[in-house]
Chains A and B, each alone.
Chain A
Amino acid sequence: MEQVIANGLYLGAQYALIALGLTLIFALMNVLNFAHGQMYVLGGFVTYTIYGQLKLPFVVALVCSGVTLAVIGGLMEKFLFRPVVRRSKREESTMLLAAATAFFLDAVMLLLFGEKQRGVPKIISGVFVSDRLILPYDRILVGVLAILMIAAFMFFMQYSKPGRAMRALAQDRVAAQLMGVKVERYSMIGFALGAMLAGVVGGLLVSITGVNSGIGGPISIKAFLMVMIGGAGVVGGAIAGGFILGMMESVGLTVLREYGDITYLVIFALLMIFLSIRPHGLMGKPWG
């Protein structure tokens, strides 16, 4: 049972980190970023290239993944989403734009990095073994790093000036604007930050799970699932959603294994029931 709990916590930490960027972008701009999974994959490929191919230190690769995606996210916000949000009166327009961006990134990555699964050397070798628990050291490190990053993100949002501005935007866009918050600037910063988180977690996890150009879509779906559980646009909700999903997967795959692959069937069924009772997820409205 200890192994199952440890697996769940590890999965939860990485899931939470994946969901954070998505929920941030949704909170700030009301945009469902369907390309979030593709951004994760691109971050993975940047780390693969720099750490796996060019043999530079892993930390350098991770920083490059974050910076690359932050730049791409900022540019996407400025040149794609901002004009559409400004001109369109229909929310579906941004959704379609996000979906188109996802397909575009998928195609570009397939061309640039090929169809194969890519992996990088382990960042730390060795496995922690006790009577009841087996955990590779690299997973422990990634889990700890994920939790530290989540904490740093929360700290940044809570106490920094841009963090406060973004929270104000998420709470009430018009009121924030009237109070002097530069909406366009902080929307761009928020989108870049969300994309950066996707890139960093993609880079971080490439050392464990590798990366291939086709996994963006499934990653996005899982991220949406976590956001729906926690409550769209709520950072605490995304973290809770990530840990809940990780734990449900881990427990389900152990307890229900005799019945075939029904773990996700059960998870989706529970989600349907849960959403019919709490349509806004665990934490309801955007943060305050």
Chain B
Amino acid sequence: MGSEMTNRRSTLKSLALGAVSFLAIAAGGAVSAQAENKELKIGFVGVTSGPAAAWGTSNVRSMQTRADWLNETGGVKIGEHTYNISIVNFDDQKDPKRAIAGMEKMAQEGIHYVVGPNVDDGAAAVRPVAESKGIIYFPYAFPKALYAPPASNAVLGMIANYQSGPAIYKYLKENKGVKKVAFIAANESDPLSQRDSGVAAAKELGLEVVAEKDTYQNDTRDFTPVLTPIVQLKPDLLVLSGVAPANAPLLIRAARELGYEGLISAETAQDATVLQEGAGELANGFISVGGASTPEIRTPVMEEFIERYTKKFGEYNDESNTKVYALEYIIETLKANPKAIDNVDEFKKTMDTFSAPNPYAKDSTLKYVGATSFGQKRQLSVPMVVTEFKDGEFKTLFVGEVD
């Protein structure tokens, strides 16, 4: 009996030692495999908490998903070296002061390429830091001064509302007979500036603007009082300027429940699940600038990206169809000119002539645009997909491009 127990103990000890040795070897092997690749840090400074968390979270998660995918498949070869991509994240809480601190942190870590910030004031605030510390940054904010000379370090990561707005209004005027337009915006710098440029574009097209000063607090939960006077004006089109994804279904629902029967549109990307949960069938017909890779135009790479994102985070965010592009542009541009890895002037030189296949959308190329809007190429070319929401999904109305 005693020797049986001793034998059992010995066997258990041997098994335990074997397991520990195996783990040690495996860990050592993993470390040495990773050590072969250098590390390329890409930063993110933007909002990942509070009411606008969805904007920045979709950025960070897109970057993390893509970085993991690239690292898993051996890393990225830039020049003579192969790099693992590491995402350094900083939540600026939509506060310009914190955005500056975030950009300073990126500089301290030797990072030259940063995605974000997500809003106008944050993007404007970090400009001096980015320019003095040699950082190229990719804001999701629309002020032209960030991208037009003498500024040169900011690259707009999406389609601006002053680029998509006129195209949408023209389409609706010609195809849906829209004549009267009402605008409503949150009382914050981004939505207000988007509203102003939207109003100007609508007037230029000869549309009658019946409401252009109506605003709401961004933390409004019940929009019925805000929309009551606007609905009474009976516009053909209600534009939700710069509307946050969290507010869009509430505004749509309130307008429809008040009896509004006209069209509703926004020039910002929205999320289909959020619209469906928040407004259901009342959101049918809602027009927005959708993710840059809707089902009709997406490639198998985009399908796999969505699958990986969903597996990693439990749920996909349609905004990531656009947000996935920034990291891709950074990596592909560095591949095109490896000297740019620690020299943003080289990066800027490459931007003028850069071109690569677009892995996410059919019949499309990655290239820098913006010459018409900013006088220099300081914008990522992403497909401008104008969509209509229908029964839980976005359907493509038309696809455009910015030059």
Contacts and interface: CB of A to CB of B under 8 A. Distances in A.
Contacts of A83: none
22 contacts: A3-B228, A11-B222, A114-B314, A115-B48, A115-B57, A117-B246, A121-B280, A134-B257, A134-B259, A205-B221, A208-B222, A210-B250, A210-B278, A212-B51, A212-B53, A214-B50, A214-B52, A214-B53, A215-B219, A257-B213, A260-B187, A261-B215
Nearest to B223: A209
B379 to A, nearest CB: 26
A134 B57 CA distance: 38
A52 interface: yes
B225 A260 contact: no
A287 interface: no
B167 interface: no
A257 B229 contact: yes
Contacts of A8: 225
Contact of B222 (A114, A209, A217): A209
B54 A117 contact: yes
Interface stretch (B128-136, B269-277, B321-329): B269-277
A249 interface: yes
Interface in B232-288: 245-247, 249-250, 257-259, 271, 273-274, 277-280
B221 A209 contact: yes
B64 interface: no
A275 interface: no
B53 A115 contact: yes
Interface of A: 3-4, 7-8, 10-11, 14, 52, 106-107, 110, 114-122, 127, 129, 134, 136, 139, 205, 208-210, 212-215, 217-219, 249-250, 253-254, 257-261, 264
Contacts of B250: 117, 209-210
Nearest to B257: A136
B226 interface: yes
Contacts of B246: 116-117, 210, 212, 214
B224 A7 contact: yes
Interface in B41-89: 48-54, 57
Contact of B317 (A116, A208, A215, A219): A116
Given A52-B277, A260-B215, A261-B187, A214 B51 contact: yes
Give the interface centre of B221, B226, B259, B278 by most chain A CB atoms within 10 Å: B221
Contacts of B54: 115-117, 212
A119 B215 contact: no
Contacts of A208: 222
A264 B217 contact: yes
Contact of A127 (B49, B213, B257, B313): B257
Given A134-B257, A210-B249, A110 B217 contact: no
Contacts of A11: 222, 225
B314 A129 contact: no
Contacts of B50: 214, 217
Contacts of A110: 49, 53
A4 B228 contact: yes
**Majority SS of interface residues in chain A?**
helix
Nearest to A106: B49
Nearest to B48: A115
Contacts of B307: none
Nearest to B232: A3
A275 B273 CA distance: 44
B312 to A, nearest CB: 13
Contacts of B229: 253-254, 257
Interface string B287-330: 00000000000000000000000000111010000000000000
Contacts of A4: 225, 228
Interface in B13-43: none
Contacts of B221: 205, 209, 215, 219
B398 interface: no
B208 interface: no
Contacts of B245: 116-117
A214 B317 CA distance: 17
Give the interface centre of B226, B280, B317 by most chain A CB atoms within 10 Å: B226
B213 A119 contact: no
A263 to B, nearest CB: 8
Nearest to B188: A261
B46 to A, nearest CB: 12
B277 A118 contact: yes
A259 B51 contact: no
Q: Give the 4 A-B CB pairs with smallest separation, nearest first.
A: A218-B219, A261-B215, A119-B278, A117-B246
A5 B266 CA distance: 30
Interface in B152-198: 187
A249 B225 contact: yes
B216 A261 contact: yes
A169 to B, nearest CB: 32
A212 B217 CA distance: 16
Contacts of B214: 257
A116 B257 contact: no
Contact of A129 (B222, B259, B278): B259
A116 B225 contact: no
Contact of B274 (A116, A122, A258): A116
Contacts of B53: 110, 115, 212-214
A117 B274 contact: yes
A241 B105 CA distance: 45
B51 A7 contact: no
Contacts of A214: 49-53, 246
Given A11-B222, A134-B258, 18 more contacts: A4-B228, A8-B225, A110-B49, A114-B315, A116-B54, A116-B274, A117-B249, A117-B274, A118-B277, A127-B257, A205-B221, A208-B222, A210-B246, A210-B278, A212-B53, A214-B52, A214-B246, A260-B215
